[in-house]
Amino acid sequence: MDNKPLPFDEDIDGVKLNSFLFQFESYFAFKGYYDLDLDGVTVGQELDQCVRKSAVTWYKTYTQRPDTLKTWATMKYSLEKNFKEPDFQQKIRAALLSIK
Whether 23 is covered by a domain: the verdict is: yes
Inter-helix orientation angle 72-83/40-49, to 10°: 30
Structure pTM?
Answer: 0.80
The pLDDT assigned to 79 comes to 92
Average pLDDT over residues 61-90: 89
Q: Is the pLDDT of residue 59 over 60?
A: yes
Look up the domain containing 85 and give its range: 14-97
Give how far Cα 13 sits from Cα of 16, 31, 78, 85, Å: 5, 27, 14, 6
Tally the domains of the chain: 1
Q: What is the DSSP string of 55-86?
A: HHHHHHHHHH-TTS--SHHHHHHHHHHHHS-T
Whether 85 is covered by a domain: the verdict is: yes
Q: Can you tell me the distance from the alpha carbon of 60 to that of 54, in angstroms, rounded to the nearest whole number?
A: 10
Eight-class DSSP state of 99? -
Whether 82 is covered by a domain: the verdict is: yes
Ranges 11-15, 33-37, 51-55, most confident? 51-55
Q: What is the pLDDT of residues 38-48, one digit of tens each?
A: 766 677 778 88
Whether 8 is covered by a domain: the verdict is: no
